[in-house]
């Protein structure tokens, strides 16, 4: 089936029936935890201009890089375990970027230990979402995003809550949003419909009914703004 036309989303419920737009992939759909590229496309169309400098501090398979190239944005992708050659090895808690030089930041962090990303002991994906160290590490990432982002520019964080059988429910979205609010002004909260293989498998739904729990049907997309600090004039 031909993919639908790619348009700007106009409500706070985003739904696009494919991981990728157009006739080719952005990033790699076989990468566990790949970000749907239409999300990044929508964000860049609304909050950036051509030749703006974008970073993704947890770049995964490089989806942000490919969307930026489509839209004529400059981009730097970082990851603790680079998936391809144009991604720079770096920890999102200590980015090799000078202060206030970035026009937009997109980040899609690990949601606890659901996916194995790396054997690197620094990997945040090795921290359970029921462990306070996960949120402490994510606050360090958010502080770094604040440091490198220009005033009066925007960032977006894409995340999902966590539920694993026999473990407590982890409201990751609410926890991360409360951290973001310490540094940024909220612009909006988007619910993004999840289209993944898990939700297409009937036995997963049968088990969810039997076990009286819910499958994750949406992700949060938090859009935030870095305000101009008092005593600092806009360039």
Count of residues making up the chain: 235
Looking at residue 122, its pLDDT comes to: 83
The kind and range of the H/E element at 208 are helix 202-211
Q: In 23-124, where does DSSP find H-type helix?
A: 37-47, 63-70
Q: Residue 26 to residues 7, 41, 66: CA-CA distances in angstroms?
A: 17, 10, 5
User: Which one-letter DSSP state was computed for residue 47?
Assistant: H
pLDDT, tens digit, for every residue of 118-145?
777 888 878 888 999 999 999 999 999 9
Looking at residue 201, its pLDDT comes to: 67
With CA atoms as reference, report the closest residue to 48 among 183, 143, 142, 156: 156
pLDDT, tens digit, for every residue of 50-77?
999 999 999 999 999 999 999 999 999 9
In DSSP terms, 221 is beta-bridged to 158, 190
Looking at residue 189, its pLDDT comes to: 98
**pTM, 2 dp:** 0.92
Q: What percent of the chain has pLDDT over 90?
A: 67
Cα–Cα dist 47/15, whole Å: 19
Looking at residue 197, its pLDDT comes to: 65
Structural domains of the chain, with CATH = 13-225 (3.40.50.150)
Cα–Cα dist 36/8, whole Å: 14
pLDDT, tens digit, for every residue of 182-221?
999 999 999 999 887 666 666 778 888 888 888 888 999 9
| Average pLDDT value for the chain | 90
């Amino acid at each position: 089936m031909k993919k639908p036309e790619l348009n700007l989303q106009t409500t706070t419920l985003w739904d696009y029936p494919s991981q990728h737009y157009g006739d080719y992939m952005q990033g790699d759909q076989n990468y566990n935890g790949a970000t749907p590229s239409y999300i990044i496309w929508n964000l860049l169309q609304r909050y950036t201009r051509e030749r703006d400098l974008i970073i993704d501090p947890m770049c995964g398979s490089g989806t942000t890089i490919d969307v930026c190239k489509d839209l004529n944005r400059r981009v730097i992708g970082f990851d603790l375990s680079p998936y391809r050659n144009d991604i720079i090895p770096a920890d999102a808690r200590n980015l090799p970027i000078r202060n206030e030089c970035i026009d937009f930041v997109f980040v899609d962090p690990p949601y606890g230990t659901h996916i194995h990303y790396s054997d690197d002991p620094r990997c945040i994906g090795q921290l359970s979402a029921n462990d306070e160290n996960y949120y402490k590490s994510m606050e360090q990432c958010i502080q770094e995003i604040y440091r490198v982002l220009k005033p009066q520019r925007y960032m977006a964080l894409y995340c999902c809550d966590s539920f694993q059988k026999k473990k407590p429910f982890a409201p990751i979205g609410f926890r991360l949003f409360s951290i973001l609010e310490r540094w940024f002004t909220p612009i909006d909260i988007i619910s993004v419909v999840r289209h993944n293989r898990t939700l297409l498998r009937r036995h997963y739904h049968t088990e969810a009914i039997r076990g009286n729990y819910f499958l994750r049907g949406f992700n949060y997309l938090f859009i935030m703004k870095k305000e101009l600090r008092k005593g600092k004039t806009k360039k």
